[in-house]
Structure 1
Amino acid sequence: MVIGNELRNSKNLVIAATTIFTRAAIKGGMHPESAYALSDKCVQRIEKLKKIDSIVELMQEIGELFVKRVRAAQNFSNSTIVFLIQDYIFKHLNEPLRLEQMAQDLGYSKPYLCRVFKQDTAQTIVNYANEQKMREVRSQLVFSNKTVTEIATMLGFYDQSYLTKLFVKHTGMTPTEFRKKYHM
């Protein structure tokens, strides 16, 4: 067998598994747009690989990413207002969070949104938004070659140092350390 064909076959197998993970994630409650975006990132990284040491390990890593995203999606509340807040955050992830603007866009007062969200989720809107942003930072560090500064800008952080501070708080390591450990 020609080595190029072996690599192509391995990539095709991992891409097929990624497709299955994507479908399962959507059924598990992940937003379809988010599942497809994650799938696209995975496929792009797979296509860039020059060799695949272990198909099983690569599929496991991708599967674990989808499982983590599904778990996060399942944390979406059944409360309509809380769901609206979570959906708003998801749709505006690449912008700085402005609670006043969110309240205005959703048609509620800021104190009311903050109180309802905290009662239902036991966390603040800002903490929840930061968790979602850190999830996206991890994904970008694993699947892209963007610099930490580019990722910070993309997610609406005013400076890289604040992103790094939050990232260390959430993961226990710097973005650079995380990328060295997990980058595909």
Structure 2
Amino acid sequence: MIIIILDDFISDKYFFNPTISLLIESNAKADILDLIRKKHLQELQEEVSFEHKKNDLFMWNVVYIREVLAKGTYKQNIHLLYNKLYFKIAKAASIKELQQIELEIASSYLDLLIYDAEVTDTFVVNKILQYLHINIESHISLERLSKDLNISIGYASECFKRKMGITLMQYSRKIKVERAKTLLLSTSKSILEISMLLGFYDQSHFTRTFKSLTGVTPTEYRNQNYL
């Protein structure tokens, strides 16, 4: 685990806001993302310092990971997500980029918190959920998952379907589309860039999958919901 020491840190006031703490505790993802977007508008109006914003995100990365670890499920590989987000923050070059990363931080960790809460009594399914969320930006196949987790395809599929009510790959597509929604509204990435980032075969595959789960195309979703 990376330990962060900040010599010049002025905290985001939201750290000390009981509302945000309650929202994290209750896994209210949509409300948290909406609150973050409103905060971003205020930051731009107040011309928040780039360095202070970067330091805030380093701290938020710690805050969210502590919430995940407190639940006790995702202890082995959670450092991969933490480190990935840490280096994204470190390499950011603008306030706008940091704000996009902040939405990604919240979305990534809240996905783990929310979907961890769905399953607490099946070790194999917990491992599969962890794997799917950690690798959300990769192309996932049953063969690769089976090999990486050292379990048979049949056993993984059977356990997951019995516990979650949908197939493993259906669930994978579902969480990728949820992440795509966040990217569509919080970044200027093109539909093609988002489809490649989330491990779809091509833009057409992504668009078909997105529409099958939401009823609209990615472009229509962005146009209808963009603030």
Which category of TM-score, normalised to the shorter sequence, fits these structures?
Answer: 0.5 to 0.7
Please say if residues 124 and 156 of structure 2, whose CA atoms lie closer than 8 Å, have aligned partners that are also in contact: yes
- Quote the Cα distance in structure 2 between the aligned partners of 1:182 and 1:98: 31
Provide the secondary structure at the position in 2 that maps to 1:97.
coil
- Provide the residue aligned with 1:168 in structure 2: 211
- Provide the residue aligned with 1:134 in structure 2: 177
Letter in 1 for 2:159: V
Equivalent pairs counted in the alignment come to 168
Provide the secondary structure at the position in 2 that maps to 1:119.
helix
Bigger Cα displacement from structure 2, 113-122 vs 77-86 = 77-86
- Provide the residue aligned with 1:55 in structure 2: none
- Provide the residue aligned with 2:158 in structure 1: 115
Q: Note the residue ranges of structure 2 that are not aligned, 5 or more in a row.
A: 1-43, 70-77, 98-102
Q: Note the residue ranges of structure 1 that are not aligned, 5 or more in a row.
A: 50-60
CA deviations on 1:27-82 (whole Å, 9 max, x unpaired) are 654868769989x89xx8x9339xxxxxxxxxxx99x9699744344224431111
Letter in 1 for 2:194: I
Q: Compare relative contact order (CA 8 Å, sep 6+) and give the higher one, 1 or 2.
A: 1
Please say if residues 25 and 35 of structure 1, whose CA atoms lie closer than 8 Å, have aligned partners that are also in contact: no
Does 1:145 pair with 2:193? no
CA deviations on 1:111-151 (whole Å, 9 max, x unpaired) are 01100111111111001111111111111111111111111
Letter in 1 for 2:208: K
Letter in 1 for 2:225: Y
Does 1:157 pair with 2:157? no
- Provide the residue aligned with 1:105 in structure 2: 148
In angstroms, what is the RMSD of aligned CA positions?
A: 3.9
- Quote the Cα distance in structure 2 between the aligned partners of 1:93 and 1:182: 23
Letter in 2 for 1:107: N
Give the TM-score normalised by the residue count of structure 2. Answer: 0.55
Provide the secondary structure at the position in 1 that maps to 2:172.
helix
